[in-house]
Amino acid sequence: MIINSIKRPFGIGPKVSIFTLGTMRATNSLDKMYGVIKSAYSAGINHIETAPSYGNAEKLIGMALEKLEQEEKVNKNKWVITTKILPRGNIEQLKVKYNQSKKNLKIDRIHNLAIHGINLKEHLDWVLKGPGKIFVNWIIKNNLAEQLGFSSHGDYELIDQAIDSDLFNFCNLHLHLFDKSKIPLAKKALSKKMGVLAISPADKGGQLYAPSKLLKKDSKTMHPLELAYRYLISEGITTLSLGASKEEDFHLAIKLANSTSELNENEINIIKNIEDQSSKRLGDSKCGQCRECLPCPSKIPIPEILRLRNIAIGNGQMKFSKERYNLIGRAGHWWEIRDGSDCRNCNFCVPKCPNHLDIPHLLKETHEMLIENPKRRLWD
């Protein structure tokens, strides 16, 4: 059966489903990619998100869509595809990369082209004033993409500047039930009629597909992942990325394919209960994520580290917090550079915290609680 799902405006490009297929987890083989895309189609998903940096994902998508057209008569042109380009290189190199993506995906024109990872000021400068500007002008002049966007793992101010540049029609951001810090940016982008994609709400949002006993208990009658999806949808986020590797990964996408209503009373109460229980466990050591303590002279990302502590202690998602913490300093500009052990105890931050937290002590304690051997990222 094929689900008849709602499709919503995504910038100035074609309308997209509430869920977007993320392809990073299906790159083992053509069979795998084909199976995942076929399941996504059945789940009412029409939007695929990829990048040349995800191994051979683009090539496999191109082949899988062709196969689906031949075997199941699913018109290739029904799909909306977003791919990306890293903010580096000169115009000739960028043209080669653009054409390679198009060739891999076996399409005549890219629907949504995103600058991949505007994570630092130099990346935004690259696209607004540097070689990226020449490339973007080439794309626009020759009508080589339906719209331009960006993805970012950068800080609030940088994303705000990227949105304000008015160059982009969509953005891919980290938006999570357990990290609402970028929600105002998403709302700003939406008010400018940009499309907004939430990056990895299941995994980077707290590994919500594997809730701890505590989180399951606090979430009462609803699975925390379903609640997280509902929260983002109700905030108006256009589409949520779903990094699937098997058919079962789509069951919530099927369940929520048309679920655009506001949060109901039950959902509001469960979210409140999760927050209340978390606050109880953290007591007066809870970081309120207000960011007043920044900037730290040693560039410690205090709110990010203490957010991992909040999630580990308050929600019991220890495995998630450990994995994210141990990636610090090992993922270049895609994640934080300094961890709690880099704190110099200068105490600059302490008087700025409205919650009167002993920040240096909490950073030390968090480091001791979360540090272990690092895991590898899915892509480099």
Binder of ligand SF4 out of 89, 236, 288, 329 (CB under 6 A): 288
Question: Which two structure tokens, joined as six digits, stand for 30?
Answer: 């053509």
The closest alpha carbon to 71, from 107, 100, 30, belongs to 30
CA distance 332 to 56: 22
Closest distance between ligand SF4 and the C-beta of residue 299, in Å? 8
Tally of CA atoms within 13 A in the half-sphere of 375 that contains its CB = 11
320 neighbors 206 (Cβ within 8 angstroms): yes
Distant-in-sequence, close-in-space partners of 127: CB < 8 Å, separation ≥ 6: 87, 115, 118, 133, 136, 150, 167
329 neighbors 377 (Cβ within 8 angstroms): no
176 neighbors 205 (Cβ within 8 angstroms): yes
Query: Is 292 one of the binding residues for ligand SF4 (CB under 6 A)?
Result: yes
Closest distance between ligand SF4 and the C-beta of residue 285, in Å? 10
Binder of ligand SF4 out of 109, 121, 344, 361 (CB under 6 A): 344
Query: Is 357 one of the binding residues for ligand SF4 (CB under 6 A)?
Result: yes
Binder of ligand SF4 out of 140, 268, 290, 378 (CB under 6 A): 290
Closest distance between ligand SF4 and the C-beta of residue 157, in Å? 15
Phi and psi at residue 19, in whole multiples of 5°? -110, 145
Query: Is 300 one of the binding residues for ligand SF4 (CB under 6 A)?
Result: yes
Closest distance between ligand SF4 and the C-beta of residue 342, in Å? 7
Query: Is 346 one of the binding residues for ligand SF4 (CB under 6 A)?
Result: yes
Nearer to ligand SF4, 171 or 306 (CB): 306
- Whether the link from the prior residue into 224 is cis, omega within 30° of 0, is no
Binder of ligand SF4 out of 80, 167, 171, 353 (CB under 6 A): 353
Burial of 130 (0-12, 13-18, 19+ CB in 10 A): middle
Binder of ligand SF4 out of 313, 349, 366, 370 (CB under 6 A): 349
Binder of ligand SF4 out of 36, 107, 256, 359 (CB under 6 A): 359
Query: Is 291 one of the binding residues for ligand SF4 (CB under 6 A)?
Result: yes
Per-residue binding string, ligand SF4, 191-230, x by CB under 6 A, is ----------------------------------------
Closest distance between ligand SF4 and the C-beta of residue 203, in Å? 24
| Binding span for ligand SF4 by CB under 6 A among 22-30, 42-50, 175-183, 302-310 | 302-310
